Amino acid sequence: MITLRKAQDRGHAQHGWLDSWHSFSFADYHDPAHMGFGNLRVINEDRIAPGSGFGTHGHRDMEIVSYVLEGALAHQDSMGNGGADAAMAGRAAGVIRPGDVQRMSAGTGVMHSEFNHAKDQPAHFLQIWILPAHRGIEPGYEQRHFDAASKRGRLPLVASADGAEGSVTLHADASIRAGLFDGDEAAELALAPDRLSYVHLARGSLQVNGHRLYAGDAMRLENEARLRLDAGDGAEVLVFDLAPQ
């Protein structure tokens, strides 16, 4: 079964410094039909204005993935990642840019902030929350870069439960693939019948199993045997493999 959701049907919040589109119920946006999909709980498409950001706040028992599309996002947390002294201490510097994938395991509890220090460019990124396989784990952080060539016309893993193929490691029964598609470039994936698949088009346009998607559109797949992506036009796409809940 295939279910399409158009970009404009998502929840929307405009806070001046933050323009956010919610694929699933989040904060003041509540829709009982869109509380999540499997163990995928949040996809927020956020644009943070220059010189602003999220102040220090807390999370727990959630796998949080940030995927930057434009600009840069500076991260600092209570684990010591980010800030001027982080690299010298052997920790992650905490600035994420296009091509970077950041995973923060909130576990027993973590405090963090995210800020756009640019003077004239918004930071455009996807904030993704996935329910962990186990509660109360030790908080953790990981950041990897995946260049455009590695995603061109294919769907490499960028996050997975076992860190396969150099992906960041999720403490969740889920994986994320990312790809870039134009023209004749195409990719196919076999889908397991006992799993859920979710496609989020971050930008451009793309044909997914014969359906045309545009930036912000999404597709849910249940009991489908294959996923085919083709006929892209400046497309950047994320494909999720998820555990049913």
245 — pLDDT class (breaks 50, 70, 90): confident
For the stretch 55-58, contacts whose Cβ atoms lie closer than 8 Å and that sit 24 or more positions apart, written own/partner, are: 55/113, 56/111, 56/112, 56/113, 57/111, 57/112, 57/113, 58/109, 58/110, 58/111
As a whole number, mean pLDDT of residues 133-140 equals: 97
pLDDT in tens, 156-206: 999 999 999 999 999 999 999 999 999 999 999 999 999 999 999 999 999
The domains located in the chain, with CATH, are 2-242 (2.60.120.10)
pLDDT in tens, 146-170: 999 999 999 999 999 999 999 999 9
C-beta separation of 1 from 222 below 8 A = yes
Side chain identity at residue 232, one-letter code: G
Question: What stretch of H or E contains 148?
Answer: helix 148-151
Beta bridge partners of 189: 227
| pTM tops 0.85 | yes
